Structure 1
């Protein structure tokens, strides 16, 4: 039987390796006059800025072996750098951050203070402004337009967003309580939480007791999501798995703290230089992936499958 996925082009592996080689060369080469970014190279101790994207929804993709996996589509909406922050804490340490804004908005709906801030940065008015802590070598010039190529297919990211609000919910939905019995003396309280306190000692309900209340609508972080594909023409980022928040919600995307930042520093200190970054990755766009860098790369870059053999091959 002819497998339909066998007819798909098998050029994604070559594309992603070409991308990594291009990024590595771009990081060490002299910047073009249109960039305005000083030449620098990513190191295991570097922490890059994140991006502000809009969650467009979920879909499905297939790898080279025909295995299906879910992805969430994130889109950048004119994400630009509006400020570089550098302050000194009380203990004498320095705090560095990059302020990023996204989603253009009319000037008439922007407050005067923020309107002046955007005009000083030389960018259009934005709906959302966020700040990402970085290392001193990862500052990005103000006014730089960031691209989806900031995240390379094959790396891992953390996505921060506000979860979907469920309203006031009971203990069975909020905390997965099994409820009371369906018979044998239980009357019209089958979904009740049951007893919540003790006897006269302590004579109160302990703080933090799982009870009914507001569910959802809080800040949540989903860690270690793999970047599967990047579309530089539409500024789309395809991450494997689900992302908190409703469709069209604003989300913050950054390098994974565990699998990129912490793992790179640990493996570098141990001398495991081939494990500093995930497999097939050479380096990361540093200090950021810009529109100028995206023009020199293919419009669609896909990540090669992590599977060694096809899951549909019969076992011996």
Structure 2
């Protein structure tokens, strides 16, 4: 018995040693840490899939020559051919949803979608040569109006979000063949009665500035001398260094400089920081971002072809790209400060006798139809 007790007492250390214990440890996350995560795309509820995947060879085999001609005939009968300047017409009545009211400074109008044509020189009356950017209002029509009580642009996490007192007008530009788009996308234009558009854009408008779907928008939506904001997508330059992306001077070309001619140089903060500060200008992707150029002045309008001349290199993006125009938000350049009320809610000819001149010039711009130099006859 004594021997058995000695054996049991000898197993006590082993009992504590073999007892299971709970231990926790943390695995380090060595992935890429983003200061600002990528924004999630939130498509609006009115937008659907636009294009469809069609095998060209299979599509050509299924349609005979008679089928193709029949489809073209149906499209021509349903949609009128677009004009060069004014675009295609809508069979709907051109009446605003709300009664036409007088413009007030706090009212917000709809904008237009224009195609960038290029940059040309112009001359002012004092002989100064200036560069101007040409835009053509490309077959704009109002597609849909969403009132303020139904317009919810995004889901917010605020408990008491601010009530929005502006609605949304969806505008389409550049009519295209319906065969290029999906059936769901073409159904967006049934209410407006126009051909499917290549680009759709939304504009925040006051309820007093709402327009009926199918209403065309012309270049005369604006006046000469008015200031506008232009939103466009910059040219995609790809991955670029700091000299091209940010305009750095670079290192010297000689005198002992080795392999650092186009490098950014020191980027450390030193001290207790010991990190790269947020917002440091470094190499990276350049372009392909939406940018807004504010307070650009309109100096000339062609009412026949819907062309607008804007002073300066006034827009981001390459030639033949689509940009958005809307009234400027800068207070010192607004219509209220200039004491020049715009066409509200848009320019709509009230009668057939109302004809605008083909060319509209600002006061300080030289009209090319006028003589340049006047000579007095000497006696």
TM-score above 0.5, yes or no: yes
Cα pair distance change 1:51/1:195, threshold 3 Å: same
1:247 equivalent in alignment to 2:308: no
Retained in 2: the 8 A contact 1:34–1:292? no
Residue in structure 1 matched with residue 199 of structure 2 by the alignment: 128
- Partner residue in 2 for 1:284: 342
Runs of 4+ that moved beyond 4 A: 291-295
Q: 1:180 aligns with which of 251, 263, 267?
A: 251
Match among 106, 119, 144 for residue 83 of structure 1: 144
Correspondence list, 1:268-283, <5 A: 276-278=336-338, 281=340, 283=341
Deviation at 1:292, TM superposition (A): 6.0
5+ residue gaps, structure 2: 1-91, 153-160, 367-379
Q: Deviations over 1:15-42 (max 9, x none)?
A: xxxxxxxxxxxxxxxxxx9642343221
Structure 1 position 63, deviation (Å): 2.5
Which residue matches 1:151?
222
Mapped contact 2:95–2:211 kept (Cα < 8 A): no
- Greater relative contact order: 1 or 2 (C-alpha under 8 angstroms, separation 6 or more)? 1
The structure in which a higher percent of residues are helix is: 1
- 1:14-163 aligned within 5 A: 35-37=94-96, 38-88=99-149, 90-163=161-234
Query: What is the distance in 2 between the residues matched to 1:100 and 1:120?
Result: 13
Which residue pairs with 1:218 in the alignment?
289
CA–CA separation in structure 2 for the residues paired with 1:212 and 1:130: 32
User: CA contact under 8 A between 1:172 and 1:178: conserved in structure 2?
Assistant: yes
Q: Are the counterparts in 2 of residues 164 and 217 from structure 1 also a CA contact under 8 Å?
A: yes
Superposition CA RMSD, Å: 2.4
CA–CA distance in 2 between the matches of 1:152 and 1:204? 52
Q: Which runs of 5+ in 1 are unaligned?
A: 1-32, 265-275, 308-316
Alpha-carbon distance between aligned partners in 2 of 1:293 and 1:205, rounded to the nearest angstrom: 65
TM-fit CA distance, 1:183: 3.3
**For 1:196-246, what per-residue CA distance to the aligned partner results, in whole angstroms no more than 9, with x for missing partners?**
224574343223221111111211111111111111110101111111110
Provide the secondary structure at the position in 2 that maps to 1:114.
helix
- The DSSP-based 3-state class of the residue aligned with 1:120 is coil
Structure 2 CA distance for aligned equivalents of residues 224 and 115 of structure 1: 35
| Matched-pair contact (CA < 8 Å) for 1:60–1:70 | yes
| C-alpha contact 1:197 1:204 (8 A) present in aligned 2 | yes
Give the drift of 1:60.
1.3
Residues of 2 paired with 1:169 and 1:93: CA distance? 41
Quote how far apart the aligned CAs of 1:145 are: 0.6
Deviates more, 1:128-137 or 1:56-65: 56-65
* Cα deviation 1:147-197 (Å, max 9, x = unaligned): 100010011011100011222111111112222233343212211111222
Deviation per CA, 1:103-124, whole angstroms, max 9, x where unpaired? Answer: 0111011122221111122111
Name 1:190's counterpart in structure 2.
261
Distance 1:168 1:123, change over 3 A: same
Tell me, yes or no, if the aligned pair for 1:226 and 1:240 is still in contact at 8 Å: yes
Comparing both structures, which one devotes a greater share of its residues to strand?
1
Deviation at 1:293, TM superposition (A): 7.8
1:144–1:290 Cα contact (<8 Å) kept: no
Q: In the alignment, does 2:356 pair up with 1:297? A: yes
Instruction: Give the structure with higher Rg (CA).
Output: 2
* 1:62–1:258 Cα change, 3 Å: same
8 Å CA contact 1:83–1:98 kept in 2: the answer is yes
In the alignment, what sits opposite 1:208?
Answer: 279
State the alpha-carbon separation in 1 of the partners of residues 349 and 185 from structure 2.
25
Q: Is the 8 A contact 1:147 1:291 kept in 2?
A: no
